[in-house]
């Protein structure tokens, strides 16, 4: 049993390191990065998806990366959404985790469009790191993605999904 646990830790360490490299700016690479990308590409928002069957450890991997990198960002959120999310509640949760003061202004708002607008306004000038855990369908993801601002200051998003 001890060897299996060690093998699992090694497996997640390797996957964690790979995922971190995907999230880091190109200049942090090992020299193999695309030189033509230039420094402006490192400022673009990056979205990385962790995809696999249920029980594979996607959430554990995303949480390990989140825990390691979160201190490098102005604001951060780790939000599980599940199979049938209430998207207004998801946006409220994201705002709450990003900034509790901002959340107090909108905690009674149930309109999805208003919440997306508030989230976009809040994220406009922030370098953020958000994990959207357990996305089940593309429609849900597209709505969530519409709230995320590509503000060219190095924000990062991880999604976990079975699809």
pLDDT single digits (tens) 69-81: 999 999 999 999 9
What is d(CA 113, CA 36) in angstroms, rounded to the nearest whole number? 38
Provide CB contacts within 8 A for 139, sequence distance 6+: none
Closest CA to 94 of 135, 67, 60, 130: 130
What pLDDT sits at residue 10? Answer: 59
92 vs 95: CA distance, rounded Å? 5
Check residue 101 and give its pLDDT: 85
Q: Tell me, what's the pLDDT at 58?
A: 96
Strands annotated E in the chain: 46-51, 75-80, 128-135, 156-161
Pair of tokens at residue 115: 């919440």
Q: Which residues of 98-108 are buried (b: 16+ CB within 10 A; e: fewer)?
A: bbeebbeebee
- pLDDT, averaged in runs of 10, over the chain (163 residues): 48 89 70 42 87 93 96 97 95 94 82 95 96 97 96 95 90
Q: What is d(CA 100, CA 44) in angstroms, rounded to the nearest whole number?
A: 26
| Residue-level pLDDT at 116 | 96
Predicted confidence at residue 9, as pLDDT, reads 55
Tokens representing 50? 């962790």
CATH class of 2-161: alpha beta
* Cα atoms in the 13 Å half-sphere on the side-chain side of 85: 24
CA 152/CA 130 separation, integer angstroms: 15
* pLDDT at residue 129, as a whole number: 98
- pTM (2 decimals)? 0.83
């Amino acid at each position: 049993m001890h060897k299996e646990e060690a093998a699992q830790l090694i497996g997640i360490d390797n996957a964690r390191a790979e995922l971190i490299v995907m999230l880091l700016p190109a200049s942090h690479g090992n020299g193999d990065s695309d030189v033509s990308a230039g420094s402006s590409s490192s400022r673009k928002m990056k979205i990385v998806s962790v995809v696999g069957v249920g029980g594979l450890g996607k959430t554990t991997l995303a949480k390990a990366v989140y825990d390691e990198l979160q201190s490098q960002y102005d604001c951060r959120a780790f939000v599980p959404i599940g199979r049938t999310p209430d998207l207004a509640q998801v946006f409220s949760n994201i705002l709450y985790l990003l900034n509790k003061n901002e959340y107090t202004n909108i905690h009674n708002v149930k309109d999805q469009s208003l919440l997306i607008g508030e989230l976009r306004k809040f994220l406009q000038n922030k370098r953020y790191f958000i994990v959207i855990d357990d996305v089940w369908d593309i429609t849900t993801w597209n709505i969530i993605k519409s709230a995320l601002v590509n503000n060219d200051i190095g924000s990062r998003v991880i999604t976990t999904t079975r699809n």
